[in-house]
Amino acid sequence: MKRLLYALLLVVSASLFTVQAKAQVIVIANPGVKASDVSKNDLKDVFTGASTSLSGGTVVPVLAKAGPAHEEFLQAYIGKNDAAYRAGWRSLVFSGQATMPKSVDGDAAVVEFVAHNAGAIGYIGKASAHDGVKVLSVK
């Protein structure tokens, strides 16, 4: 009985803590974005619509429609799967508080959008080319 209780306590405790993912995804931003690093909380706020600024400047998130970088970013920094994440954005849309962020196909498209749109911030695989954008370190 005691072992069962300990096991139950372990399961409940484990469900309350966020699991750290391996950093195979990097966060990129338009060179005009003032920030050079971003905290996990601030990053989550930007990509969930809770905030529209970093280091005092307006930022505009761009999403990948799908792919390993998208999945890892959601798991590591948002804590939701894709369906729950987009449902959260739809709540803001249906409340009149935001529009759904732009979604593009693939890392190359994310880089292209971020490089050419002021304030844009996105995420790509670590190994993907990212000319024309700056990398933000996540602290």
Catalog residues that contact another protein under the rule CB under 8 A.
15-18, 50-53, 58, 60, 79, 81-84, 86-88, 90-91, 93-100, 102, 119
Q: For the CB of residue 46, give the shortest distance to another protein in the complex, in Å.
A: 10
Query: In terms of CB distance, is 22 or 94 closer to another protein?
Result: 94
Q: For the CB of residue 119, give the shortest distance to another protein in the complex, in Å.
A: 6
User: Which 3 state secondary structure label does DSSP give 79?
Assistant: coil
Query: In terms of CB distance, is 8 or 127 closer to another protein?
Result: 8
H-helix or E-strand spanning residue 7 = helix 2-15
Burial class (CB in 10 A: 0-12, 13-18, 19+), 128: middle
| Spatial distance between the Cα atoms of 9 and 6, rounded to a whole number of angstroms | 5
Query: In terms of CB distance, is 26 or 119 closer to another protein?
Result: 119
Q: For the CB of residue 111, give the shortest distance to another protein in the complex, in Å.
A: 19
H-helix or E-strand spanning residue 86 = helix 82-94
User: Can you list the positions of beta strands (E) in the chain?
Assistant: 25-29, 37-38, 53-54, 57-58, 60-64, 102-104, 120-125, 134-138
Q: For the CB of residue 129, give the shortest distance to another protein in the complex, in Å.
A: 25
Query: In terms of CB distance, is 20 or 97 closer to another protein?
Result: 97
